[in-house]
Amino acid sequence: MGVSLKDVAQRAGVSVKTVSNVVNSYPHVKPETRERVQRAIDDLGYRPNLTARHLRKGRTGIIALAVPELGNPYFADLATAVIDAASQHDHIVLLDHTAGLREKEVLVSQGFRSHIIDGLILSPIRLETEDLLARAGGPPLVLLGEREYDAPYDHIAIDNVAAARTAVRHLIELGKRRIAFLGARHESLRQPAHLRLRGWREEIRASGGVPDESLVLATDGYDRRDGAAAMTRLLDRTDPPDAVFAYNDLVALGAMRVLTERGLRIPEDIAVVGFDDIEEGQYAAVSLTTMSPDKTAIARLAVDCLVERIASGASTAAFPRRILPGCTLTVRESTIGRGRPGTGA
Amino acid sequence: MGVSLKDVAQRAGVSVKTVSNVVNSYPHVKPETRERVQRAIDDLGYRPNLTARHLRKGRTGIIALAVPELGNPYFADLATAVIDAASQHDHIVLLDHTAGLREKEVLVSQGFRSHIIDGLILSPIRLETEDLLARAGGPPLVLLGEREYDAPYDHIAIDNVAAARTAVRHLIELGKRRIAFLGARHESLRQPAHLRLRGWREEIRASGGVPDESLVLATDGYDRRDGAAAMTRLLDRTDPPDAVFAYNDLVALGAMRVLTERGLRIPEDIAVVGFDDIEEGQYAAVSLTTMSPDKTAIARLAVDCLVERIASGASTAAFPRRILPGCTLTVRESTIGRGRPGTGA
């Protein structure tokens, strides 16, 4: 069998777990430790043998992860977390990019490349329930994301309505009354349910207000440019909002750029809340308050479910699970300003 | 053969090229057009048959792209550009994530998964020339990035020294004299040549100055947090810089967050130039001046070279090409302030 993880660990003077962390690209290893382990790996000529164990069971040890956008840091974070979680099960991950197109999502879900993958984690945008029901055989499948299906597959998704309500409640508690929603979907695109928009409506009603639909702005996509364009349209009206809840952080960051250009103060004039907790929001000149989905839990649960389904040998789940990982409010300067961390006032 | 692209085009009332753009996730298609094409696809039950043509030639039509970090938007942009370029050649792309670890880079370069891919585009960090020379067979390979090798493979990379000199010259022309370099590599990590640092030194000397090595800050990595930590160390000294040239945009953005926290004005107190031209820099509160590698050209050239090598049937290149796509200075507020776009003064 050649050189083992244990041999490397002994030579480097670290635990087997540490060697495994280095080999599997786990991020939180000190550079000095990583270097020491890498030197031992190089000296001994260690080669990780990822697939031998799987091949004995007629499997490849490869799972696919299909996401709509690589350019969205949320999906890059999620992909990194899935790669980490999969490595704990000795699986490697192939990434697919669907661009959120139904055609590509169908292609992926119907087992494209099924001869080389043991299972699939899919975050769909436009896939329909009928597409899933039409799926014949193919590898085990776990679904991620906001879209809801009545189909025999495990589904991991945060509670988008509850999370949106938390975000809006935070703004209401800060005294904001004209809260815009940036990033509604164009009706023409036949897109998923507007769960976050529904949460916006429900929370405004729960506070005794009436949702002002003129404050709901549709966008072509969910990028910075979409947020900037929507914010510009909103500010060009006579009666601007005093707060913005954006579909995601990219939309929020695009909106904040426009606020800064116009000389408006964040949060005094207009407070902003995003969604996703991408790192960019932490480092913005005014750091971004956001809803933080537990990406590590999402990734771990998705991989755990998938590995279990792979082990069961069945392509569909007789009792599909619907699992809701946590999503918490992370308060930063874009709602409470500087120098008052941790308070909501 | 079932439904063709042409059938879809006729039904949607658009050109075959437009249908192809939609199917291949080309980004610049109007939502209405995309919707119309998608409806025709759905109505006709069109399924793109990506692999039939390739299978007739004993190929899979799949190429792999291996990058060190998915979390770095530069690589996400590059991956998106490679996917677009590959689709022009009717190839699909599998993404690999190496975490910049030599072990994973060796695994990938030595033809891991070679039974399912026709060729590989690899952006290595720690791979050594000896690793490439030890490569026996395996699919055709094209290299990307800063690292230089003496090996029989095509290599696509911008001229990092020249690009760094352009960035530093811009700062010198603005009157800056104490220009720090953020993002040097720790010697202990045995990392690639410091081409951008070399450019910094050369340009300062060319302007009649003497490079002040105390202004060169090593970082653990190239993330926002690394830029923030380095900037903090630099500002805690008695004699701060008047400008910063960062290894990449993420390091620059982390540094800018610290400048903002300390109440320093960008660019009046400290000007900042990054590298990569990621979209985040455009939307920062102070938009980021940066060096913009021509990512579309890099991707197109890499795919063109690879497709040519695949067609030739040879695993190595008798006459490997070294191709240098362009990299231009994009001037924004972090060096010239607001309201003076396009000027260098």
Structure tokens at B211: 């490079």
CB A118 within 8 A of CB A312: no
The pLDDT of B263-280, averaged and rounded, is 97
Q: Is residue A45 part of a domain?
A: no
pLDDT of residue A249: 97
Within this chain, do residues A113 and A213 fall inside the same structural domain, yes or no? no
pLDDT in tens, A142-163: 999 888 888 899 999 999 999 9
Within this chain, do residues A278 and A165 fall inside the same structural domain, yes or no? yes
C-alpha pair distances (Å), A255 with each of A300, B55, B265, B337? 32, 48, 22, 20
CATH number of the domain where residue A216 is located? 3.40.50.2300
State how far the Cα of A46 lies from the Cα of B153, in Å rounded to an integer: 25
Within this chain, do residues B228 and B143 fall inside the same structural domain, yes or no? no
Structure tokens at A149: 């299906």
| Highest mean pLDDT out of A30-44, B257-271, B328-342 | B257-271
Q: Is residue B341 part of a domain?
A: no
Q: What is the ipTM of this complex?
A: 0.74
| Highest mean pLDDT out of A103-107, A161-165, B123-127, B187-191 | A161-165
Share of chain A above pLDDT 70, in %: 88
Q: Which residues of A touch B66 (CB under 8 A)?
A: none
Within this chain, do residues B123 and B271 fall inside the same structural domain, yes or no? no
Q: Is residue B343 part of a domain?
A: no
Q: Which residues of A touch B282 (CB under 8 A)?
A: 224
Q: Which residues of B touch A85 (CB under 8 A)?
A: none
State the Cα torsion A12-A18-A19-A20 to the nearest 10°: 170
Q: Which residues 25-84 in chain B show a CB within 8 A of chain A?
A: 25, 27, 31-32, 35, 38, 41-42, 46-48, 70-71, 73, 76-77, 79-80, 83
Q: Is residue A345 part of a domain?
A: no
Within this chain, do residues A125 and A235 fall inside the same structural domain, yes or no? no
Q: Is residue A343 part of a domain?
A: no
Q: Is residue B113 part of a domain?
A: yes
Gap from B151 CA to chain A (nearest CA, Å): 20
Q: Is residue A324 part of a domain?
A: no
pLDDT-based confidence at A229, cuts 50/70/90? very high
- Would you say residue A245 has pLDDT above 70? yes
Structure tokens at A167: 């975000």
pLDDT-based confidence at A31, cuts 50/70/90? confident
CA nearest to A64 within chain B: B94
CB B294 within 8 A of CB B281: no
Structure tokens at A328: 């918490």
Whether A319 and chain B come into contact, CB under 8 Å, resolves to: no
Within this chain, do residues A109 and A200 fall inside the same structural domain, yes or no? no
Task: State whether residue B128 is helix, strand or coil.
Answer: coil
Within this chain, do residues A169 and A282 fall inside the same structural domain, yes or no? yes
Within this chain, do residues A70 and A191 fall inside the same structural domain, yes or no? no
Q: For all residues of chain B together, what is the average pLDDT?
A: 86
Within this chain, do residues A153 and A59 fall inside the same structural domain, yes or no? yes
Domain of residue B37, residue span: 5-44
The pLDDT of B63-92, averaged and rounded, is 88
CB A74 within 8 A of CB A278: yes
What is the number of domains present in chain A? 3
Q: Is residue A322 part of a domain?
A: no
Q: Which residues 217-276 in chain B show a CB within 8 A of chain A?
A: 220, 223-224, 228, 253-254, 256-257, 260
Share of chain A above pLDDT 90, in %: 50
Within this chain, do residues A180 and A243 fall inside the same structural domain, yes or no? yes
Within this chain, do residues B307 and B265 fall inside the same structural domain, yes or no? no
pLDDT in tens, B289-308: 999 999 999 999 999 999 99
Residues 6+ apart with CB under 8 A from B100: B68, B69, B125, B126
Within this chain, do residues B36 and B118 fall inside the same structural domain, yes or no? no
- Would you say residue B345 has pLDDT above 50? no
